[in-house]
Amino acid sequence: MQVLQGHFRARWCAFAVYLYCRSHILNLCVKGAVESIFIKTYRLVRATPVFLRDGSFRTLALKHNNDNNNNKTTNLQNKRKIERSDKKTAQAIPSASDTRWVYHYQLMKFSYKHLPAIVSTLSELAEHNDDSAATANGYCLQLIRNITIFEIGFMKNVLEHAYFFLKEIERGESTIDKFSLCLDSMKEAIANTMNMFDFDLYKKKLQAVGRASPNVANPSQTTRRTTIQANNQDIDTEKLIEHGYSFVDRIMKSIEDRFNNNSRTVVDNIVLFSNPSNYDDNTLMGNDLLTFYCEQMHFQHISTNKDKYQRTDEPILDRMLLKKQLPSFRSLTKKIKGIIEITQHLAKTDLFITSQWFTFYQILSTYPLGVNECERSFSAVTRIKTKLRNRLGTDALETAVKYTMIKPDVTDEDIDYIVTNFYSNPGCAKSRNVRIYIDE
């Protein structure tokens, strides 16, 4: 990415600012904390769904056990219905992913919610005399442990805060100033997770798991069978609390390390301009980000093949005009907060008296929180431009991607207009090798 940044700044715009994707940083924080403290449980919970998805019989058995745990009957009359829902059940099991931040939360939520059904399914699979019996028995023995169940439930609660945080900042109108507020709120919620942990629900989950694992193979070398009830194990609440706080401390440290002072410099500067009425003139005019756009920018980059690229751009903003327009800017934005809100308000007023400040806020509103939308557009192109559609033109592909990303509301009148416009232009149909039959 440093090479790409160098090429872009040296050849197109020297004022381009490189920011790490906030969603990916938090994903690395979560993954780093999970893999350092609860690594064994995380690997177990990650491997179990993969094992259950590897075979329609295992997926169907999980569906049956989940229905039984919910007091649902599975008689012969609804057998066909259950078989039809087999594919839906397989899709409901989270598929492994290292890049999707939501995967960690989905995995823990699914495992904790359906833990009795998962244990019951693994117990049944362990009874079968096939190659997967030993694997199923090993997973089952680990999942019924008190500490394992606690770690799954606690990780679910912690990751839930990260999930809602990222859903909030990924909204289209979210900007970096709102990101900073949401980040502080999420850190406070994660730090308080241990105090909000429901031990009564945890004990009920232990009992449900104990009932779901009637017979599990003894881990010794003998062939005897034994009954291992999870709820019969002693529960050391103080030890669990200490264990939970160790995970909270690790994830908080990971967040502080990745969202450190260097990565928050731009964020803090933008937060300052989201509420300019709280700061005096010297603070606003002396801000590093404002000064960055008021000075001439020169950037030089040497590529991997030793080619030298350099570019010099004139200042985007005029400091003297900014200082001259500051009283008018303060008067117009006295009771308004937020980058987007201030930009929209300036656009509706006389731009001549605040032209420099309007330009500056236009720049601030374009700072991205992450690359999620960009990556989704790439995924949309992959889905749309298949091998059968490899001759799609640029205009058609762009329209299809925009329609997929924006998802506009299309009425029957819109569809009629599209169809009418298509068959009224025979050249469009001919170029796509489409024959049109009109029923008069």
Q: Are 310 and 13 in contact (CB under 8 A)?
A: no
pLDDT in tens, 61-81: 788 777 766 654 444 344 444
More confident residue, 436 or 22: 22
| Per-residue pLDDT at 38 exceeds 80 | yes
Dihedral sign for Cα atoms in the order 231, 234, 236, 237? positive
Closest CA to 66 of 139, 134, 122, 120: 120
Across the chain, what does the average pLDDT equal?
A: 76
3-state SS of 367-378 is CCCCCHHHHHHH
Q: Are 119 and 143 in contact (CB under 8 A)?
A: yes
pLDDT of 87: 46
Residue/partner pairs of 167-170 with CB below 8 Å, 24 or more apart: 169/22, 169/23, 169/369, 169/370, 170/23, 170/369, 170/370, 170/372
pLDDT of 320: 92
Q: Are 266 and 289 in contact (CB under 8 A)?
A: yes
Residues 6+ apart with CB under 8 A from 357: 322, 325, 326, 329, 346
Stated length of the chain: 440
Q: Are 405 and 377 in contact (CB under 8 A)?
A: yes
